[in-house]
A and B are shown apart, each in its own frame.
Chain A
Amino acid sequence: MLCRAVKSTFMELLKIGKYEFSSRLITGTGKQVPYPLMRQCIDAAGAELVTVAMRRIPQDEPAGMTLLDNLTGLNLLPNTALCFTAKDAILTAQLAREALQTDLIKLEVIGDQDTLYPDNEELLIAARELVKDGFTVLPYCIDDPIICRKLEDLGCAAVMPLAAPIGSGQGIRNVTNLQIIIEKANIPVIVDAGVGTASDAVIAMELGASAVLMQTAIFGAKQPVQMAQAMKLAIHSGYLAARAGRIPKKLYATASSPDTGLVEAR
């Protein structure tokens, strides 16, 4: 009995395509964060899957400790960040697969510099091509149930709707859309982008999200390691709360102590 009670506080494995993870918090690898601090944050967050970007090698780059040396033991999720066309995203994905020996790809096809919102048309083109090419595709997409359904139909392994614009920290701006996406999807829904603090991650998980992906919320915090820990707890907390089942919201109060046997002064 005790054993079962303890076991029920564990999270089920997160399944993305043929991959399984015991952590439901996916993190970035910081932007210009010193490698030791980056690794501390990732470990504090308990992340097993971390995103990296693919960029041209500068000709004058000094040899030394590389990013990969600091990410040993972790699964890499290369992204196609800041690709503005399906063509660029596809080539970036193919280069990432060759460089990092993984078919996982966080597919981003951006449509606009200011909002960094995805370009739906280009995203669908790239997703179709990459699925056909054997990739495990995790597309970053708008919080729209229709685009999520189309991406699922194309064979993506998960969908990653945004909570709010990348790096904005606004939290979940469209709770009802996210609810619909989660209810309709038959693949993991990973909330990606826009999380600002731990409560945002809890809400995402309470809504039934399979995982949350974040970068700025952790690495942009004043105390990144502490925030990483907070996020780990938030993900776990939200996951358990979602399965525990919340009480319905009511307009009026219901006494939480017995309303019989009350003392009378006169």
Chain B
Amino acid sequence: MTKYKTESKSGLEFEFCYLFFHPLPTIFYKLQEMRIVVNGQEYQTEARTAAELLQELQTPEVGTAIALNGEVVRKSQLSQTTLPEGSKIEIVRAVQGG
């Protein structure tokens, strides 16, 4: 069995496994951890979308907001918004202030 590993930009890792006597190559998908920056700190995540990231971080739904590379992601768009490798994320909530 021969394995060819390729890393795609989307962060998905494909493993092409050519099995002997197999008529067609079989493709296995494995989610690879991706490096992004959350609130100024390096962060490894398996999350592919803004919604998945917020879930992973256990961010409360109410009173919070997220920006991806300087653009606010509307609540209705969270699950459609994919996070590219190296994304800069800001996640905020209200605190006491004057």
Binding site for B on A (CB under 8 A): 27-33, 38, 51-59, 63, 66-68, 76, 78-79, 81, 87, 91-92, 94-100, 166-167, 213-216, 219
B23 at the interface (CB under 8 A from A): no
Bound Cα distance A100, B97 (Å): 15
Q: Knowing that A59-B57, A97-B65 are A-B contacts, what are 9 other residue pairs whose CB atoms are under 8 Å apart, sorted by A's residue number?
A: A31-B96, A52-B94, A54-B93, A57-B57, A66-B63, A68-B63, A78-B94, A91-B67, A95-B66
Contact of B95 with A67 in the complex, beta carbons under 8 Å: yes
The 5 A-B residue pairs with the shortest CB-CB distance in the complex, in nearest-first order = A215-B98, A53-B97, A28-B98, A99-B65, A98-B65
Cβ contacts under 8 Å, A63 to chain B: 58, 60
Question: Quick one: given A68-B63, A95-B65, are A81 and B90 in contact (CB under 8 Å)?
Answer: no
Q: Can you name 29 A-B residue pairings with CB atoms under 8 Å? A: A28-B98, A29-B96, A29-B98, A31-B97, A33-B96, A38-B96, A54-B94, A55-B93, A55-B95, A56-B39, A56-B90, A57-B64, A59-B41, A63-B58, A66-B63, A67-B63, A67-B94, A67-B96, A68-B62, A81-B98, A91-B72, A94-B67, A96-B92, A97-B72, A98-B73, A99-B64, A99-B92, A99-B93, A215-B97
B19 at the interface (CB under 8 A from A): no
Q: Which residue in B72, B75, B97 is a CB contact (below 8 Å) of A29? A: B97
Closest residue of chain A to B57 (Cβ to Cβ) is A59
Contact of A68 with B94 in the complex, beta carbons under 8 Å: yes
Question: Quick one: given A66-B63, A95-B67, A98-B65, are A57 and B91 in contact (CB under 8 Å)?
Answer: yes
Contact of B39 with A57 in the complex, beta carbons under 8 Å: yes
Q: Which residue in B38, B63, B65, B97 is a CB contact (below 8 Å) of A28? A: B97
| Chain B, interface residues (CB within 8 Å), range | 20 to 34
Closest residue of chain A to B73 (Cβ to Cβ) is A98
Bound Cα distance A29, B62 (Å): 19
The number of inter-chain residue pairs (CB within 8 angstroms) is 108
Closest residue of chain A to B41 (Cβ to Cβ) is A59
Bound Cα distance A67, B62 (Å): 12
Closest residue of chain B to A213 (Cβ to Cβ) is B98
Contact of A76 with B72 in the complex, beta carbons under 8 Å: no
Cβ contacts under 8 Å, A53 to chain B: 94-98
Closest residue of chain A to B40 (Cβ to Cβ) is A56
Binding site for A on B (CB under 8 A): 38-41, 57-60, 62-67, 70, 72-75, 90-98
Question: Quick one: given A91-B72, A95-B65, are A54 and B95 in contact (CB under 8 Å)?
Answer: yes
Contact of B98 with A31 in the complex, beta carbons under 8 Å: yes
Most A CB within 10 A of own CB, among B39, B40, B64: B64
Bound Cα distance A95, B90 (Å): 9
Closest residue of chain B to A71 (Cβ to Cβ) is B94
Closest residue of chain B to A31 (Cβ to Cβ) is B96
Contact of B72 with A95 in the complex, beta carbons under 8 Å: yes
Closest residue of chain A to B97 (Cβ to Cβ) is A53
B98 to chain A, nearest CB (A): 3
Bound Cα distance A55, B95 (Å): 7
Closest residue of chain B to A58 (Cβ to Cβ) is B39
Cβ contacts under 8 Å, A29 to chain B: 96-98
